[in-house]
Structure 1
Amino acid sequence: MKILVILFTALLFLSGCATHQSPTGRNQVLLFSSEEIELMGASSFEHIKRQETISHNAEQNRYVNCVADRITAVLPGSDLSWDVIVFESEQVNAFALPGGHIGVYTGLLQVAENEHQLATVIGHEVAHVIANHSNEQVSRAQLSGIGMQIADAALGAGGSSNKELYMAALGLGAQVGFILPYGREQESEADIMGVELMARAGFDPAQSIELWLNMAKRGGEQGPELLSTHPSHGHRIDDLTKMQQQVGPLYQASQSADKNSCHFMK
């Protein structure tokens, strides 16, 4: 019992010392430095590039890079050069990783009907990165691991088989690298930040609603992989509808700037 108290106290101490606030004011526990997280992101991206088929379609690459470049150009206080790769796959998905890495699957280009809808997804994924969601997820896994060690100590378990079970429960067994499924709280935060990013980059935020309506129609009730841990379609669309009044002026202001056209002929 004394061991349990000591370990539990240590867990609370670690949690308290690493508390930060997300861009929307939500409390986060971040146990890793930005350098450590960026190394994880680079390693994971290299692994994905080895596992997936990279598209060499010049038009697809020009289109996706155009949208991504405009999104990343409006990030606050960052001159990071982002690496954007298009992967040949039917997956309706995209991701962004710490350190400046973006992956877009060609299946998404069949659902995102225009550059504004593609910007919705890329803005959302980039928002995960700038909100430190990857660090938050890995930190949660770290803390959950400590919690499981406490349980193992109490039960006198060997730990190896239990470790596999709780790693699978965290999504580590099924995900590539350290990419963990984000929670709905993080997804909602990325929606808010992402629609602001796309509006500042000159993409019509009203199209974010159309994009998620398209997503909702794709693949029946479950929808594509991109929606697996996201808020319900109705909840997400309601939130984005409420955001339109706030982000509309940002979009209108962006129209006076000279921006590259990102049209794509499918």
Structure 2
Amino acid sequence: MKQVCRKVFSHAALLLAVAGCAQVNTTNSGVVGINRSQNMWLSAQEVEQSSAKSYASQLSQARSAGKLNTDKVLTARVKRVAQRLIAQTPVFRPDAARWKWEVNVAQTQELNAYAMAGGKIMVYSGLVTRLQLTDDEMAAVIGHEIAHALREHSRETMSQAYAQQMGLSVVGSLAGLNQSQLNLAGMAADVALSKPHSRTMESEADIIGLELMARAGYNPNAAVNVWNKMMSAGGGSGPEFLSTHPSGPTRISDLQAHIPQVMPLYQQAKRG
């Protein structure tokens, strides 16, 4: 039995080695000092292509249901905040200025938002209207999602899932299974809509988002306000947004600890 396990493991390791793993740091560190190296089994290009396909599908579904950008005032407001934040992204990675950013609003009472690779962002209207978010608070949410895109957290999470599936496919092949399970577009949707990022990724998105909003002239203290609002909205358990964005006292403490770092950027932006 041990010999069989070792054989299966060696085949899995060989497949992963052939696929290739790149260790990268996807962004500059900024004043907040994010510099973690990331292991990527999938290329940025294939993840961006699969994410674009998945995002287009989500837009089509929302449009068909009459729920895409139906509130023109809210949509304009969300896009205005997002554009101010996107203008600051080259601080973390210069190539982001050339991304085909997309920001849309889905008309739904859910308290949620998500980002896909390459700058594909969706904000759910309920997040803004039900929590009565100010522009500063909205910037905290959108900045968080932009940060996920900058750090390529979708690519990192999909790479982890891909590596696992490649290993499992060796076992599956013994039972006559094929590799149709390796559907990157489906994986992109799963990561964006339901699969939680790691606590480390969430912390990075919080902190980079904090710097983005400060540089864009939004008060970083609003980040603490919005997380408190979201926790309160769930009566202690947290709304749907928090099912894929874990929160708690530690998260809020981390934000508060980094606010002094970015406050000078906010003050400078306000003077400018």
Q: Shorter-chain TM-score: which interval?
A: 0.7 to 0.9
**3-state SS of 2:89 partner:** coil
1:186 is matched with 201
Q: Aligned-pair RMSD on alpha carbons?
A: 2.7
Tell me which amino acid in the other structure corresponds to 2:152. N
Answer yes or no: is 1:148 the counterpart of 2:148: no
Aligned position for 2:30: none
Query: Which position in structure 2 is the counterpart of 1:263?
Result: none
The superposition leaves residues 141-191 of structure 1 with CA deviations (integer Å, 9 ceiling, x where unpaired) of 1101023235557xx65558xx98xx9xxxx69x84653431222111111
Q: Which residue of 2 aligns with 1:252?
A: 267
Give the SS at the match of 1:226.
Answer: helix
Q: Give the Cα separation in 1 of the matches to 2:131 and 2:141.
A: 11
Name the residue aligned to 1:134.
154
- Partners of 2:53 and 2:104 lie apart in 1 by 15
SS at match of 2:217: coil
- Contact conserved, 2:157 with 2:191, CA < 8 A, in 1? no
1:43-89 CA distances to partner (integer Å, 9 max, x unpaired)? 11111112221132221111101100001011112243422211110
TM-score, length basis structure 2: 0.81
**Residues 234 and 158 (structure 1), Cα distance of their counterparts in 2 relative to 1, 3 Å cut:** farther
Q: Corresponding residue for 1:74?
A: 88
CA distance in structure 2 between the partners assigned to 1:57 and 1:152 by the alignment: 48
1:221, CA displacement in angstroms? Answer: 2.8
Q: Residue 13 of structure 2 contacts residue 167 of structure 2 at CA under 8 Å; is this kept in 1?
A: no
- Cα pair 1:93 1:225 within 8 Å, conserved: yes
Q: Do structure 1's residue 208 and structure 2's residue 199 form an aligned pair?
A: no
Alpha-carbon distance between aligned partners in 1 of 2:190 and 2:245, rounded to the nearest angstrom? 21
- Give 3-state SS (helix, strand or coil) of 1:251's partner: helix
**C-alpha displacement at 1:136, in angstroms?**
0.6
Structure 2 CA distance for aligned equivalents of residues 176 and 32 of structure 1:
16
2:23 alignment partner AA? T
Q: Secondary structure of 1:255's match? A: helix
- Structure 2 equivalent of residue 94 of structure 1: 113
Q: Hey, what does 2:31 align to over in structure 1?
A: none
Native 8 Å contact 2:40 2:159 kept in 1:
yes
Report the alpha carbon displacement of residue 17 of structure 1 after superposing the two structures with TM. 3.3
Does the CA-based 8 Å contact 1:67-1:118 persist in structure 2? yes
Shift of 1:22: 4.5
Do the aligned partners of 1:198 and 1:205 also contact (CA within 8 Å) in 2? yes
Cα distance change, pair 99–8 in 1 and its aligned pair in 2 (3 A) = closer
1:4 to 3, 8, 11: 8
Aligned pairs for 1:54-65 (under 5 A) are 54-65=68-79
| Deviation (angstroms), 1:230 | 3.0
* Distance (whole Å) between structure 2 residues aligned to residue 40 and residue 112 of structure 1: 34
Letter paired with 1:80 = W
Is contact 2:114-2:145 (8 Å) kept? yes
* Unaligned stretches of 5+ residues in structure 1: 258-266
**Alignment pair present for 1:221 and 2:236:** yes
Q: 1:14 to 1:62 in 2, by over 3 A?
A: same
Q: Which amino acid aligns with 1:86?
A: V
Counterpart in the other structure of 1:240 = 255
Instruction: Name the stretch that deviates more: 45-54 or 73-82.
Output: 73-82
Measure the CA separation in 1 of the matches of 2:21 and 2:225: 42
Q: Deviations over 1:198-243 (max 9, x none)?
A: 1111100001000000011012232112111434321110100101
Name the residue aligned to 2:131. 111
Alignment: residue pair count? 248
Residue 264 (structure 1) aligns with: none
Tell me the TM-score normalised to structure 1 length.
0.83
What is the rounded CA distance, in whole Å, between the counterparts of 1:152 and 1:56 in structure 2? 45
Match runs of 1:21-32 below 5 Å: 21-23=25-27, 24-32=34-42
- How far residue 8 of structure 1 moved from its aligned partner, in angstroms, is 3.9
Q: Does the CA contact (< 8 Å) of 1:19 and 1:30 recur in 2?
A: yes
Greater shift in the superposed pair: 86-95 or 48-57:
48-57
